[in-house]
Amino acid sequence: MRSAFLLLVLGCATAPEVPEDPAELIRLLGHSNPLRREEGAFRLSLSGATIPDALEGSERAIAYAEEDTGTIRQGISSALEERDPEKLVWRAYHALRVGCLARPWSRVSDALSRQGFRLIEIFEPHERSKFVRFAAQPAAWTSAAGDRHDLFFWVRSSKNVVREVYVGLIVKFEAPFKQLASIERYPRGSVLARFFALPELAKVAIVFPQVEDVEFTYGRIRDKDADGAAAGFHVNAGFVMEGKAGGRAIYYTAEAGLDPRETRRGRLDWGGFASSDAVGPLVPRGAGFWGAGGPKPSDD
């Protein structure tokens, strides 16, 4: 099951390209805090400029940009030390974004290949958008029930510039929902534990009793035409009939307090912000049906 609804909601809500103050972006891209550099790179990508072209004359920003792209694997390795799956995907998300955003796709592709990330698939819904999926680490996290979750990520580029990165864990179950829900697989109170306890899933399982796989990702929760976006967790699950004659995709999100809210033009609201582990309720974001072969990602 591909993450159809993740790509639909996250991929379709691209902010318009608007003029930015070049001096402000260079200041952010030369900041000692990688989260501020990541913000600068995202805002730069929205303005239509790229790294390193936009950094000419700023040796500090250029040095940070080269380091961030060249040390993505180290950032992922550091994230893998986390035993909490929520913190793991959060840290991996930032390690990849700060090293990929606003760079030419050819440069990012080369860097990822040299650092040992394996390309899984390429999907181009239309000529203006390309999604490339990579394997980051097999068995990156294992649940209390022994379920192995692989770390993966998508890189989305447009006009040969990296615009966004989606990072998460995927677990292949191919097992009855009743069996999976009867065992405490995830930390109590965690997003995934709450997801498996949703009454709505038991109803879905009446018609689609098998859980094919679950993807658990972190990133912005975007609504089309909204002025801002909170960051949080995304859960995409594929339920199938016996014999995989058909299936249903389920998609929920939960806002988190780990990162500041994004406002217009990619700016982050740092005023009074303090990172916290607080996570909001799970909110249904969409569902869909498919025949044999599974859903396809879309950015309509």
pTM of the model: 0.89
Alpha-carbon distance of 23 to 25, in angstroms, equals 5
The reply to whether 299 falls in a domain is no
Cβ contacts of residue 4 below 8 Å, gap of 6+? 236, 249, 288, 295, 296, 297, 298
Q: d(Cα 7, Cα 156) in Å, to the nearest integer?
A: 10
Total domain count, the chain: 1
Convert the pLDDT of each residue in 229-263 to its tens digit.
999 999 999 999 987 778 899 999 999 999 999 99
117 located within any domain: yes
Q: Is the residue at 296 inside a domain?
A: no
Name beta bridge partners: 126: 129
Q: What amino acid is encoded at 94 in this protein?
A: H
Q: Give tens-digit pLDDT for 160-184.
A: 999 999 999 999 999 999 999 999 9
**Orientation angle between helical segments 105-114 and 59-70, nearest 10 degrees:** 50
297 found inside a domain: no
Model confidence pLDDT, tens digit, residues 81-131: 999 999 999 999 999 999 999 999 999 999 999 999 999 999 998 888 999
Give me the domain span that covers residue 12: 4-291
Please report whether residue 136 resides in a domain.
Answer: yes
CA dist 36 → 24, 110, 150, 270 (Å) = 11, 25, 28, 10
Residue 231 lies in a domain: yes
Alpha carbons 215 and 92: distance in angstroms, whole number: 15
